[in-house]
Amino acid sequence: MLYQITNKKQLSENVFQMDVVAPLVAQARKAGQFVIVSPDAETGERIPLTIAGADPEKGTIRLIFQRVGKTTALMAEIPEGGTLGYVAGPLGRPTHIETFGTVVCVGGGIGVAPLLPIATAMKEAGNKVISILGARSKELLILEEEFTALSDQIVIVTDDGSYGRKALVTEPLKEICAGAPKPDLAVAIGPTIMMKFCCEVTREYAVPTQVSLNTIMVDGTGMCGGCRVEVGGQTKFVCVDGPEFDGHQVNFDLMMRRMNAFKDLEKRALEQYYKEHKCKIGLDRK
Amino acid sequence: MPTNPEDLNRDEQQACLQQLLDKLAKDRYAIAPQPMPAQDPIKRRRTMTEVALGYTETQARLEALRCLQCANAPCMEGCPVRIRIRDFIAEIARGEYGAALAIIKENSLLPAVCGRVCPQEVQCQERCTVGKKFKDVNMSVSIGRLERYVADLAQGGGQTPAVAPPTGKKVAVVGSGPGGIVVAADTRRAGHDVTLFEAFHKPGGVMIYGIPEFRLPKAIAQQEIDVLKKMGVKIVCNFIVGRTRTIEQLMKEDGFEAVYIGVGAGLPKFMGIEGEHLVGVYSANEYLTRANLMRAYEFGKGSDTPITVSKNVAVVGGGNVAMDAARMAVRLGAENVYLVYRRSEAEMPARVEEVHHAKEEGVIFCTLQNPKRILGNADGHVVGMECLRYELGEPDESGRRRPVAIKGSEFVMDVDTVIVAIGNKANPLIQQTTPGLEFNQWGNIVVDENCRTSLKGVYAGGDIVLGAATVILAMGQGRIAAQAINADLAPPT
Ligand SMILES: Cc1cc2nc3c(=O)[nH]c(=O)nc-3n(C[C@H](O)[C@H](O)[C@H](O)COP(=O)(O)OP(=O)(O)OC[C@H]3O[C@@H](n4cnc5c(N)ncnc54)[C@H](O)[C@@H]3O)c2cc1C
Ligand SMILES: Cc1cc2nc3c(=O)[nH]c(=O)nc-3n(C[C@H](O)[C@H](O)[C@H](O)COP(=O)(O)OP(=O)(O)OC[C@H]3O[C@@H](n4cnc5c(N)ncnc54)[C@H](O)[C@@H]3O)c2cc1C
Ligand code: SF4
Ligand code: SF4
Ligand code: FES
């Protein structure tokens, strides 16, 4: 059945993985692309999620998402065998994959999920892949196995030191950039603030850096302009011009402000949802 | 006046007839134009339900009697799809509403839509002899309202058009706006196997996501979609042509022999001024999509899509889209809504009726003003908009007088939301993914007079060809494209 969840797993306290039936998307998708999904076709909000993987034979795509607001909370509630309201895609321009040489892939938090297909494609194209994965603590780290399997070298860091090195991803990134030979390309995906600081590091060492931006979106096809960002002083639309951009050109400060556009409304919606559903997740989570 | 024609020679007969007609015409001129009943302006500021309520039967017949039945029917020339206006109005005057609708349907598939949203005052009604006689287009016969009247009467009871026996040929229609709907209907009628692809989760194009409920109820567009379904058109939503499948794949792998591209205008334009990235600045497309398609006005009560709750809103622009956004902002609870336009009201491209309704609803018109920059606070939220005052100078290429900024006239408008409604550029998605398809310098698809593109078997129409157009023009092109498709797919004779 279209949009049926054939497989669902909880990867950490707030991160879920699901395989969803969307055969045409599974066939067409390339690394770096995303879909617009909604838990309910009538009332749901449209949210963008990266396609973390696909099985064209089974006709399924893999989504990995973090429960942050109402829509992702609703999706987390749908059981295996249930269906999503809809899935539309693949959207965005695919990642530019070629043999660059050495590629450092930096993933923070949930950003590790969208990084996986890109790292995989980079490896398949014959690059040496060095991965740096970061999380707030051990329980929140995801996809370690997958990255270990594909990377030539892997560094894991946690904010609290509960696993791997106690550091932010920028530390090992700086060391790698300072080393010889320096990497040919960096790919950084994670919270906006993390991408901003990664770009400051790589700019210093003149390592070209791709970032994947996760702005607010509505249609995902270039119609609404809600996803606009400033890149190289020009207005770009993340859904049709991106989602990947030259990180050294992105105005992250403007972007971070825009991301908070609906913060208060969204918080209210989530609180109301939890109140009405007295749900097991509880409101005490950060 | 002698009444027995036998007593008169031919010239005298003619003169007599003319006299009679003139007398009748005077009587017709004496009938007052029928006003459109509308919801109370104060009450409607807070409801999404339709503003214009539609004629009563008496009003419709009176209005129809105002038509002089001109021999040359100049009104027809003003209608892009050449509806036989004089004849359908004659049927209404007679009370034959079904017959009237049948005449309209010969040329227009969506009378309930066009009757509501056509810019009649610059099309059919502009040419009307009655309006000309009074030198006032507002005195013209209300052709659109009459069209709406007969379409609404038949609501739901309309017949599903007959479909010819299967031809075994597959037609893909990309985009479910008015153009796409017409192509789907007309090619399906010819017996082709038709699939309509739509990127959004609901079909209907701008009629669903752009034009607000209070001006065009969603149920009307939905009815047209339902008719397509009954005719056996397959409707596939959440399908982005170019991404989910390319046009080439549809033709080479999926067996479609003809593809119509009706993807509409895309990419909203921004002004390129400081502060446009602040929180609280929307394109009209985003604002209206959130409000209409996603029903953000029911946020927290059946809809999960948020929209800023604003106190003071500035809408920049002077077209229909700007009016819709301003009137939507009123309904979403804003206290003050300012419409900021750099020319004067006379140059506004919006429909007169819309301007009128917006004013009634309390939208404050700030003409001859234009934003210079948008001001934000430390959190990046809009707190004001700096504007310049303008005056009208010499006419420009468009013939309209060019607005010129008055030096040193800066002032700050106290607003927390800015909606930019200054038009769209063409969406690049089809261009990015369809090699060989010819586009002009603005990114619009190039077509010949039959809506054929540079690629064999590929047709296009509507906003993606015309730039920003109208429902009826998109529909008209759909008609032409469907004729070309049907001709090209017909077996050789
Ligand atoms: C191209 C693209 C790909 C993405 N891929 C993934 C993915 O693979 N996995 C994943 O978990 N998320 C991904 N995101 C982010 C995801 O879309 C948001 O987390 C989601 O929209 C939140 O919806 P919500 O209703 O649950 O939360 P909301 O109620 O909308 O938001 C809750 C909180 O999250 C913040 N927030 C809102 N939108 C975003 C956003 N776009 N990014 C980060 N924080 C946000 C809000 O400010 C708010 O504080 C992607 C975004 C984009 C643009
Ligand atoms: C707010 C607003 C008010 C307006 N008011 C009026 C009015 O009063 N009177 C009037 O005559 N006109 C009005 N117009 C203009 C009118 O709506 C358009 O000219 C008309 O709808 C164009 O029709 P179209 O056939 O080109 O398709 P559109 O209605 O533009 O629809 C195109 C459809 O294609 C879909 N699509 C886009 N890309 C893809 C893709 N790659 N794959 C699949 N589907 C895709 C879109 O999601 C959309 O549903 C208004 C427009 C707006 C935005
Ligand atoms: S379709 Fe539009 S232009 Fe044509 S007659 Fe009707 S209202 Fe007038
Ligand atoms: S021009 Fe006016 S009066 Fe004459 S036929 Fe048309 S609608 Fe009637
Ligand atoms: S999401 Fe609407 S333009 Fe990008």
Residue B11: per-residue pLDDT: 75
Give me the percent of chain A exceeding a pLDDT of 70: 91
Domain extents in chain B: 5-153, 170-266+426-489, 269-424
Which amino acid, B82?
R
Contact between A85 and A42 under an 8 Å Cβ cutoff? The reply is yes
A254, B277: Cβ pair inside 8 Å?
yes
pLDDT of B294 reads 76
- Name the fold adopted by B5-153: Fumarate Reductase Iron-sulfur Protein; Chain B, domain 2 (1.10.1060)
Confidence of residue A281 (pLDDT cuts 50, 70, 90): very low
Residue pair A254/B310 in contact (Cβ under 8 Å)? The answer is no
Residue B300 has what pLDDT?
67
Residue type, B488: D
pLDDT of residue B477: 94
- What was the pLDDT predicted at B301? 67
Our answer on whether the CB atom of A240 is closer than 6 Å to any ligand 1 atom is: no
B240·A258 Cβ contact <8 A: no
Q: Report the residue among B122, B123, B145 best suited for mutation to probe ligand 3: largest number of ligand atoms under 8 A from its CB.
A: B123
* ipTM score for this prediction: 0.86
Residue A279's pLDDT band (cuts 50, 70, 90): very low
pLDDT score of B435: 92
Residue B84 has pLDDT above 90, yes or no: yes
pTM reported for the whole predicted model: 0.88
Instruction: Give the separation between CA B50 and CA B216, rounded to whole angstroms.
Output: 7
At B302, the pLDDT band (50, 70, 90 cuts) reads low
Asked if residue B14 has pLDDT above 90, the reply is no
Ligand nearest to the CA of A216: 1
Domain A102-261 top-level CATH class: alpha beta
**Cβ neighbours for B358, distance < 8 A, ≥ 6 positions apart:** B323, B326, B327, B339, B365
Q: What is the pLDDT of residue A282?
A: 42
The ligand with the least distance to the CA atom of B84 is 3
| B239, B282, B286, B332, best to mutate vs chain A, most A CBs in 10 Å | B286
Pairing outcome for strands A86-91 and A60-66:
unpaired
Q: Do domains B5-153 and B170-266+426-489 have the same CATH topology?
A: no
Mean pLDDT is lowest, of A251-265, B12-26, B306-320, B339-353, for B12-26
B294 and chain A in contact, CB less than 8 A? yes
CB contact under 8 Å between A24 and B244, yes or no, is yes
Task: Sketch the domain layout of chain A as residue ranges.
Answer: 3-91, 102-261
Q: State the average pLDDT for chain B.
A: 89
Q: What 3-state DSSP class applies to A76?
A: helix
Q: With contacts defined as CB-CB under 8 Å, which chain B residues touch A47? A: none
- CATH class, B269-424 region: alpha beta
Ligand 3: residue of B87, B143, B353, B470 to mutate (most ligand atoms within 8 A of CB) is: B143
Structure tokens at B442: 């603005």
Percent of chain B with pLDDT strictly greater than 70: 93
- Looking at the predicted structure, is the pLDDT value of residue A278 above 60? no
The Cα of B267 is separated from the nearest Cα of chain A by a number of Å equal to 5
> What does pLDDT average to over chain A?
88
CB-based contacts of A169: which residues, under 8 Å, 6+ apart? A106, A107, A108, A132, A133, A134, A157, A188, A190, A194, A198
* Among A16, A202, A45, residue whose Cα is nearest residue B302: A45
Q: How far is A265 from chain B (nearest CA, A)?
A: 7
Decide: B247 and B458 in contact? Cβ < 8 Å.
Answer: yes
- Cβ within 8 Å of residue A205, ≥6 positions away: A177, A178, A182
Cβ-defined contact of B285 to A225 (cutoff 8 Å) = yes
In the reported structure, the alpha carbon of residue A155 is separated from the centroid of ligand 1 by a whole-number distance in angstroms of: 26
pLDDT digits over B345-367, tens only? 988 889 888 999 999 999 999 99
- Mean pLDDT to the nearest integer, A139-146: 90
A280 pLDDT higher than 60: no
Does residue B333 belong to the interface with chain A, where contact is any CB pair within 8 Å? no
pLDDT in tens, B356-406: 999 999 999 999 999 999 999 888 889 999 999 999 888 877 777 888 999
Within B161-292, strands assigned E span: 170-174, 193-197, 234-236, 256-261, 281-283
- The pLDDT of A126-149, averaged and rounded, is 91
The residue type found at B218 is K
Can you tell me the mean pLDDT for B227-240? 94
Q: Is A217 in the pocket of ligand 5 (CB under 6 A)?
A: yes
Instruction: Name the pLDDT band for A284 (thresholds 50, 70, 90).
Output: very low
Q: Is the C-beta atom of A239 inside 6 A of ligand 5? A: yes
Question: How high is the pLDDT of residue B5?
Answer: 56
Helix (H) or strand (E) holding B383: strand B382-395
For the residues B78-97, what does the mean pLDDT come to? 91
**B78 Cα–ligand 3 center, Å:** 8
Asked if A237's CB is within 8 angstroms of B267's CB, the reply is yes
A3-91: in CATH 3.40.50.720: no
Q: Return the closest-CA partner of residue B102 out of B154, B167, B30, B38.
A: B154
User: What average pLDDT does this structure show over B156-165?
Assistant: 77
Whose CA is closest to B31, among B70, B2, B58, B3? B58
B170-266+426-489 has CATH 3.30.2020.30 classification: no
Residue B408, chain A, CB below 8 Å: the answer is: no
- Assign A285 a pLDDT band (cuts: 50, 70, 90): very low
pLDDT for residue A87 is more than 90: yes
Is residue A162 scored above 60 in pLDDT?
yes
Does the Cβ of A225 fall within 6 Å of ligand 5? yes
Pair A88, B240: CB distance under 8 Å: yes
- Structure confidence by residue, pLDDT tens digits, A24-73: 999 999 988 999 999 988 888 899 999 999 999 999 999 999 998 888 99
Q: What is the pLDDT of residue A283?
A: 42
Q: Residue B323 — φ and ψ, nearest 5°?
A: -60, -45
User: Distance between CA B99 and CA B277 in Å, rounded?
Assistant: 54
* pLDDT confidence of residue B21: 61
**Token pair for A203:** 């700019």
Pocket test for ligand 3, best of B77, B147, B351 (most atoms within 8 A of CB): B147
Ligand 3 is surrounded, with C-beta below 6 A, by: B 79, 81, 83, 85, 108, 114-115, 118, 120, 123-124, 143-144, 147, 472
At residue B4, the pLDDT reads: 62
Percent of chain B with pLDDT over 90: 58
For residue B174, which of B245, B111, B95, B96 has the smallest C-alpha distance? B245
Averaged pLDDT, A196-223: 91
pLDDT tens-digit readout, B433-442: 999 999 999 8
Ligand 2: atom nearest CA of A221 is 38
Alpha-carbon gap, residue B207 to B213, rounded angstroms? 9
Q: Which of A167-171, B47-51, B305-309 has the lowest mean pLDDT?
A: B305-309
